[in-house]
A = this chain, B = another copy of it.
């Protein structure tokens, strides 16, 4: 074949084919490229533009749908970034890193561009078009995944409190950006809360949940009885400017979600997997640092979805 003398170049591919470690959670985080410039180009509302955030969320939901029911367990978005947590038994593309990352980025980009007119009907997209980069990182345990998500949500809180105060100083306080920056230098969370309240009558805790908590996207299996968990309590604990600790006691059931899952038969797991794959993808703006969210939704990180995890080993 005429082509054969060139085909040796395929050998070079071997040296750049990373397979992500099996039996670990893959988190793919995407970030908007030069979104500071992009948000100016399209006059995004500061500090937060609900249209832009909703568009991010819609693109994230599209990733769930495009990849199918067994790939993404949960996603968390804030500002121009979104993190997608893939199930640890995910074997899509044989876990090849470049394929996984580029596919998620491409789906997200395609829907962001395509859905733009829905969220910005009177503002056609200008060039350079919005684009995203991405990367994948593996996390071996549920605790690591939860700490990753807690890190992002704590970051959301810290940045949003800063930005809310910064823009209040400018928009309502008449400061320049330099003056506002100087004013906030060295302040703590309580100082910023105080500035907002005393100068502008703003109770930070009444700001929109989407701005303060970011966006949590997942399939709402909805089969877990909610009676034992007190949502109100969750809300009350979360005072202004306070990131609640992950170590505080939560009312653990006598049997852990993982253990409950283990006791299930394969066919029971398969039924659940099917139901879960069809479950509605929902967007919520809630605390995911504390245990409450997770205890109520054990399918997100604990369920193995019926399909055997071929890398998990023999069940004991």
Interface of A with B (CB < 8 Å)? Answer: 1-3, 5-24, 30, 33, 62, 66, 93-99, 101-103, 105-107, 109-114, 125, 128-141, 143-144, 146-148, 150-151, 154-155, 157-158, 189, 243, 246-247, 291, 310-316
15 A-B pairs with C-beta separation under 8 A: A6-B147, A6-B148, A6-B314, A9-B144, A15-B20, A15-B95, A16-B138, A23-B141, A96-B135, A101-B101, A103-B133, A140-B140, A143-B314, A147-B313, A246-B316
Does A311 contact B144, Cβ atoms closer than 8 Å?
A: yes
Nearest CB on B from A221, distance (A): 22
Question: Given known contacts A114-B125, A143-B314, A243-B3, is B16 in contact with A97 (CB within 8 Å)?
Answer: yes
Alpha-carbon distance A313/B25, docked complex (angstroms):
15
Q: Assuming A3-B243, A109-B106, is B16 touching A20 (CB within 8 A)?
A: yes
A46 shortest CB reach to chain B, Å? 23
Q: Which residues of B have CB within 8 Å of A114?
A: 113, 125, 129
B11 close to A311 (CB less than 8 A): yes
Q: Assess the A12–B102 pair: CB atoms within 8 A.
A: no
Which residues on the B side are within 8 Å of A146 (C-beta)? 313
CA distance A148 to B3 in the complex (A): 11
| A140 partner residues in chain B, CB cutoff 8 A | 21-24, 140-141
Q: Which of A128, A139, A246 has the most C-beta atoms of chain B within 10 angstroms of its own C-beta?
A: A139
Nearest-CB distance from A83 to chain B (Å)? 11
Q: Return the chain B residue nearest A189 by Cβ.
A: B2
Q: How far is the CB of A149 from chain B (nearest CB, A)?
A: 9
Does B136 lie within 8 Å of A110, measured CB to CB?
Answer: no
The CA-CA distance from A114 to B129 in the complex, in Å, is 8
Q: Which residues of B contact A155 (CB under 8 A)?
A: 3
The chain B residue with its CB closest to the CB of A104 is: B102
Q: Which residue of B lies closest to A9 (CB)?
A: B148
Chain B residue numbers with a CB within 8 Å of A112 are 110
User: Are B22 and A314 in contact (CB-based, < 8 A)?
Assistant: no
* CB-CB under 8 A for A103 and B6, given A21-B21, A23-B141, A247-B314: no
Q: How far is the CA of A114 from the CA of B127 in the complex (A)?
A: 10
Question: Once the chains are docked, how many angstroms separate the CA of A32 from the CA of B101?
Answer: 15
B18 touches A102 (CB 8 A): no
Shortest distance from the beta carbon of A298 to any chain B beta carbon, whole Å: 14
